[in-house]
Amino acid sequence: MDFAKINAAAENYKDDMVRFLRAIVRNPGESCGEKEHIETIAAEMKKLNFDEVTIDPQGNVIGYMGTGDRIIAFDAHIDTVGIGNIDNWTFDPYEGYETDEEVGGRGVSDQCGGLVSAVYGARIMKDLDLIPEGVKVMVTGTVQEEDCDGLCWQYIIKEDKIRPEFVVSTEPTDGGIYRGQRGRMEIRVDVKGVSCHGSAPERGDNAIYKMADILQDVRSLNENDDADETEIKGLVKMLNPKYNSDWEEARFLGRGTVTVSQIFYTSPSRCAVADSCAVSLDRRMTFGETWESCLDEIRALPSVQKYGDDVVVSMYNYDRPSYTGCKYEIECYFPTWAIPKDHKVTKALEEAYKGLYGETRVGNAETEAMRKARPLTDKWTFSTNGVSIMGRNGIPCIGFGPGAEAQAHAPNEKTWKIDLVRCAAVYAALPGSYCK
């Protein structure tokens, strides 16, 4: 494989990639409002002579290069979070900006830049005849990921009936190759009480007080150790072979966490005892943890046991319609996943990267020192569509994408032009590396 030729081809498309990226993010594209993003992407795919371009009923855009039966896929969610407090931005989030080295705007790192590199990576494959015989390359611009990680791929696999041989997630990876992530789930705890006049609280049963006890126990899961004498053993226990047979991968991904993300209550007035209280828990899961084990863990807390039938622990469901009106309900459970370090897909991506750029992470001068301090092959700190691709459906998934994790959801979001180029080149080289 002529890596120098691939790199040169990617460099030649740099201006086109920047123009395309800025065109996508010029329109807001929050979850369930991605129509303009999708239409912009579909038009660019057609302009670049993709062999097939479709938009499925959920609203995902799917483009193919090649006509074989074996599918190698590249995924990018193209929805974004909101802009937050506009006062924290130094430029218009949608107009963005461009310098010799950077592109700014909401979504350029998280994660429309990955879509751009994948689209042009596929074009380079066609230009240089890099698509192996019997293979077609699939590039997806997927929706609703920020709302519900993996929902789009659950739809693609189950409803569109598309099952690739493997999928590259183009989420930002800080110049590295990522082979897994912790899972997550959204838990709700509801506590019942009895209201009464605030002047005589003893007549009622304050749900907020009950919840306060429960939250102290939840906090202990994060803070406690796993010693034999510790009543509420901390989540760190999953790194211990005594408690987890998957402890090696758990140590690779990192321990689970739990935090209170929202709190709700009902009360007749500000001068009455609260008759209900509820909280949302954001639970990050490592290897060896499941949605059942996480719910049971909360149900087993001493305070939850103390209040008995007055406490209900459950998992949220997602049922928000997409921009097309498609409603595809699913539990708010996003499984932990990791592809083995010696898997064929892992080795193929490492080979393609090293053939182009060597043994270490490379990047813009601003980020290069940080990148080189980390191993080339690592993992994400956040959640991705891999929770459905590999977590729910067992399709091998690996990550490599332009931009920086720290830019995700941040004001003044930016990415680097050199990242777009390098990722497009690696994507172009990957099918040949995998199929040789």
Q: What is the pLDDT of residues 40-78, one digit of tens each?
A: 999 999 999 999 999 999 999 999 999 999 999 999 999
pLDDT at residue 370, rounded to an integer? 81
Confidence band of 436 (pLDDT split at 50, 70, 90)? confident
Task: Dig out the tokens for 335 from the structure.
Answer: 């499984």
Q: Which residues contact 58 (CB under 8 A, 6 or more apart)?
A: 143, 144, 152, 155, 159, 322, 324, 326, 328
Q: What is the pLDDT of residues 326-347, one digit of tens each?
A: 999 999 999 999 999 999 999 9
What pTM did the predictor assign?
0.94
Q: What is the pLDDT of residues 391-431, one digit of tens each?
A: 999 999 999 999 999 999 999 999 999 999 999 999 999 99
pLDDT at residue 342, rounded to an integer? 96
Integer Cα distance of 244 and 40 in angstroms: 47
Q: What is the pLDDT of residues 74-98, one digit of tens each?
A: 999 999 999 999 999 999 999 999 9
pLDDT at residue 368, rounded to an integer? 82
Integer Cα distance of 267 and 175 in angstroms: 51
CA dihedral over 217, 223, 227, 229, signed as positive or negative? negative
In the chain, the domains with their CATH numbers are 3-182+336-435 (3.40.630.10), 184-318 (3.30.70.360)
Q: Which residues participate in catalysis according to the annotation?
A: 79, 145
